[in-house]
Amino acid sequence: MSTTIDKLIETTQALLWERGYVGTSPRAIQDRAGVGQGSMYHHFRTKAALAQAAEERSASELIEDVRRVLEGPGDPLDLVIGYLRLERDVLKGCRIGRLTADPEVVADPALRKPLEEAFRWVTERLAVLLKEAQRLGRLPAGLDSQALAATVLAVRQGGYVLARAADSTAPYEQAIEGVVSLLQVPPST
């Protein structure tokens, strides 16, 4: 059985993903969690404090999902491709990435921080793997692994946006397979 705090955080995670920060009211959180106003404000002084806790948990869960793929055994380039092809509910978008379109989240350093840190972790881990792929001769040595890592993440996040705009997973899949094909081009000898 979840504690009241867990119920509030889990509910807020779901509502943030569905509605964004602006569209998530304290009343909606209380109603869905089955928790009264007094309980909510006893544990979290403000909506922003609860949203930050939910974002931190979502970021942590995202990192763990990605860690399982990127830190598994195998060829580093294959691990990056595995990350790109990681199963997701494409039309719902990224739990973290969707919040970056919310002006109140972006304007608040505390609300933006979990998003920034999660993306930084993914980018850094991708850069390490891409650098290792270069060392093994799987990618051209002259590429900037940090820039390439940022590109891989940007394609994935942008793919979500394109898919949601089209109400189809096809643009996401096309973007992912496009970057995969670029990563698999053999380096010139």
State the CATH number of the domain containing residue 149.
1.10.357.10
Predicted pLDDT at 186: 81
The SS3 call for residue 142 is: coil
Query: Which tokens belong to 169?
Result: 């997973």
Q: Is 37 part of any domain?
A: no
Predicted pLDDT at 72: 87
- What helix, strand, coil percent values describe the chain, rounded to 5? 75, 0, 25
Amino acid at 48: A
Predicted pLDDT at 134: 95
Rg (CA), the chain: 19
Q: 91 is in which domain, residue-wise?
A: 52-183
Q: Is 174 part of any domain?
A: yes
Q: Is 17 part of any domain?
A: no
Query: Which tokens belong to 28?
Result: 């909606």
Q: How many domains does the chain have?
A: 1
Predicted pLDDT at 127: 98
Q: Is 58 part of any domain?
A: yes
Q: Are 139 and 187 in contact (CB under 8 A)?
A: yes
Q: How far apart are the first and last CA of the chain?
A: 59
Question: Tens of pLDDT along the chain (189 residues)?
Answer: 469 999 999 999 999 999 999 999 999 999 999 998 888 988 999 999 999 999 999 999 999 999 999 998 999 999 999 999 988 889 999 999 999 989 999 999 999 999 999 999 999 999 999 999 999 999 999 999 999 999 999 999 999 999 999 999 999 999 999 999 999 988 775
Nearest to 114 by CA among 184, 39, 54: 54
The SS3 call for residue 72 is: coil
Q: Give one DSSP letter per residue of 9-39, joined into a string.
A: HHHHHHHHHHHTTTT--HHHHHHHHT--HHH
Q: Is 47 part of any domain?
A: no
